[in-house]
Structure 1
Amino acid sequence: MADALLGPAEIRELAARLGVAPTKKLGQNFLHDPNTIRRIVNAAGLRPDDVALEVGPGLGSLTLGLVGAVAHVHAVEIDPKLAAALPATVTAPHLTVHPADAMRVKAADFDPAPTMLVANLPYNVAVPVVLSLLAELPTLRGGLVMVQKEVADRLTAGPGSKVYGVPSVKLAWYAEAKPAGKVPPAVFWPVPNVDSGLVAFTCRTPPMGDIDRSQVFAVVDAAFAQRRKTLRAALAGWAGGPDRAEKVLVAAGISPQARGESLTVGQFAAIAAAAKLSGVGGKLSASGKQPEEVDS
């Protein structure tokens, strides 16, 4: 390791020296347990030649663990004060700090290109950050992220599960994900009122890669916007009517009476492919929902 890992006393001393107080707005809960850091680094399955991408390094706890395990670390930090202080805490020549919003970074911002995403993600933006980075960085081969336990359950849920939904399907488009353990609140400062969970994922070629991702995601959003309804009804707004939705579903080999929570990502892709062949499919509004949708 380039520097010793940070414990509770070091975290508080560093924060005081920098005049930093964790903010709820940025979802800041600083990790201060060296054993948890080692556990994350080990569970990530990193190789010595990997280029790790860390989002929200904060005071540098996990960053210190990563620089000793990979060839290069990119740390994306939205808080300018923390971004400026990180190189003094993690004195490694193979660390690049990016003072930026992880939702706005581009592949061209990173040299060398990231191969693994390893991060303790802010709870309030965890899902959009993961999906945005997977869409933007095709060089990623996998990763391990720590998120709120409830979010971890959703991201790794399979069809038929009560918590299977939009995040589950969209992550499955990019990768095979699995739970990698629970993390207690006591290893953070300040202590959150929920458990955290680790999600490990391995990237793969999307199912039916000739179908545009946005077309598949439009079907997913429509199906789960009214998840208690049958797909024939839930996809009516997207397809231009329940009869047209039924025609597409039958063409895709899926029962019109099925519900979105029972479908795999491959089946959602099959619906998008059938819709493309028959010229069916609405456009998403700026909010990410079909203009005709109502919650029910």
Structure 2
Amino acid sequence: MPKVKSDKKSRVHGEMSKQGIFFDKGAGQHILKNPMVITGIVDKSAILPTDTVLEIGPGTGNLTARLLEKAKRVVACEVDTRLVAELHKRFQNTPFKPKLEIIVGDVLKTELPFFNVCVANIPYKISSPLVFKLLLHRPFFRCAVLMFQREFAHRLVAKPGDSLYCRLSVNTQLLARVDLLMKVGRNNFRPPPKVESNVVRLEPRNPPPPINFKEWDGLTRIAFLRKNKRLASLFKQTSVVTALDKNYRIHCSVSNISIEPDFDMKAKLEAILVEEGLAEMRARNMDVDDFIRALHAFNSKGIHFT
């Protein structure tokens, strides 16, 4: 891979280049270099001296060093073994070494340890699955302060009626309070990414809403197939009717409920939507409470989405 050309290389990046270690932009390796941004992220994380911090993608350790100053312990998860070696080297002769644990591997395939706060600069391609891995993690953590590409961050906080409002928005807001914290320009990274970024704080709702998230996820998948279409139209689609009919028959079999010979799933779904005042609603305008009401209405009539 050719060297990354830049007139203003950070000291750490320069040292990495001398050792033949180059960042893979395709893998989302953009190292945060601006100390002011790093300070802002650490400050907004409100780390306590007793906290264990999970850092995902520590890179060369610029943010890690500041986290180690604040926290009791930092667990850093890094998939790139070259960067793992650099992290060990950077902290091996410092007072921070006993406070740092490095987990080598893909964070999506790794069992996460206990932590109080999560801090991460996240590659775009794993943003969505990582958000839900964190929000479904137990025991609960206090907050996560995460760097995302700007459009993804705006989708997380989008409200009903917004152009960016989508299944990601409502699923995230079901499980957490989401706030935009700060904008971060592309020139704060080495190498610079093609897009701007935002720092977001997620605070898990504890206790979480008393619903089955897999059921919820199944409902929102259907509703957002075409977010501008009426629910009445979406629940008439053959693939949707077929899948829900299969689930219903399994439910009835397990619950020892008899099914009429002329049972019509399409008619049942339509009746539920009309009865609950949901038929004319569209996902683009439905908030978390609307979806909770819809899920309860279907489940109470034996309609399940998993």
Give the shorter-chain TM-score range.
0.7 to 0.9
Preserved contact between residue 232 and residue 243 of structure 1 (Cα < 8 Å): no
Q: Which runs of 5+ in 2 are unaligned?
A: 1-7, 246-264
Q: 3-state SS of the aligned residue for 1:198?
A: strand
1:183 matched to 2:184: yes
Scaled by the length of structure 2, what TM-score is found? 0.82
CA distance in 2, matches of 1:168, 1:123: 16
1:247 matched to 2:266: no
Q: Deviations over 1:24-79 (max 9, x none)?
A: 33211111111110011112222222221111111111111211121211111111
Scaled by the length of structure 1, what TM-score is found? 0.84
By how many angstroms is 1:84 displaced?
2.8
Preserved contact between residue 230 and residue 279 of structure 2 (Cα < 8 Å): yes
Q: 3-state SS of the aligned residue for 1:53?
A: strand
1:102 to 107, 114, 133: 107
- What's the counterpart of residue 223 of structure 1? 223
1:38 matched to 2:61: no
- Letter matched to residue 223 of structure 2: A
CA distance in 2, matches of 1:97, 1:18: 21
- What's the counterpart of residue 75 of structure 2? 74
1:217-296 equivalences under 5 Å are 217-236=217-236, 237=240, 239-240=244-245, 243-250=267-274, 253-283=276-306
**Count of residues paired in the alignment:** 271
- What's the counterpart of residue 212 of structure 1? 212
CA distance in 1, matches of 2:194, 2:73: 34
Preserved contact between residue 208 and residue 269 of structure 1 (Cα < 8 Å): no
Preserved contact between residue 215 and residue 305 of structure 2 (Cα < 8 Å): no
By how many angstroms is 1:248 displaced?
3.5
Preserved contact between residue 140 and residue 204 of structure 2 (Cα < 8 Å): no
- What's the counterpart of residue 4 of structure 1? none
By how many angstroms is 1:177 displaced?
0.2
Preserved contact between residue 59 and residue 83 of structure 2 (Cα < 8 Å): yes
Q: 3-state SS of the aligned residue for 2:50?
A: coil
- Letter matched to residue 121 of structure 2: N
1:53 matched to 2:27: no
CA distance in 1, matches of 2:202, 2:212: 22
Tell me: CA distance 1:137–1:54, structure 2 relative to 1, closer, same or farther (3 Å).
Answer: farther
By how many angstroms is 1:135 displaced?
1.3
CA distance in 2, matches of 1:72, 1:250: 54
CA distance in 1, matches of 2:266, 2:9: 58
Preserved contact between residue 208 and residue 266 of structure 1 (Cα < 8 Å): no
By how many angstroms is 1:265 displaced?
2.1
By how many angstroms is 1:17 displaced?
4.3
Which one has the largest radius of gyration?
Answer: 2
1:3-22 equivalences under 5 Å are 8-22=9-23
34-43 or 75-84, which deviates more = 75-84
CA distance in 1, matches of 2:115, 2:268: 43
- Letter matched to residue 234 of structure 1: L
Preserved contact between residue 175 and residue 209 of structure 2 (Cα < 8 Å): no
Q: Deviations over 1:154-188 (max 9, x none)?
A: 01112221111111112112210011121001110
- What's the counterpart of residue 170 of structure 1? 171
Preserved contact between residue 58 and residue 64 of structure 2 (Cα < 8 Å): yes
- Letter matched to residue 98 of structure 1: I
- Letter matched to residue 205 of structure 1: N
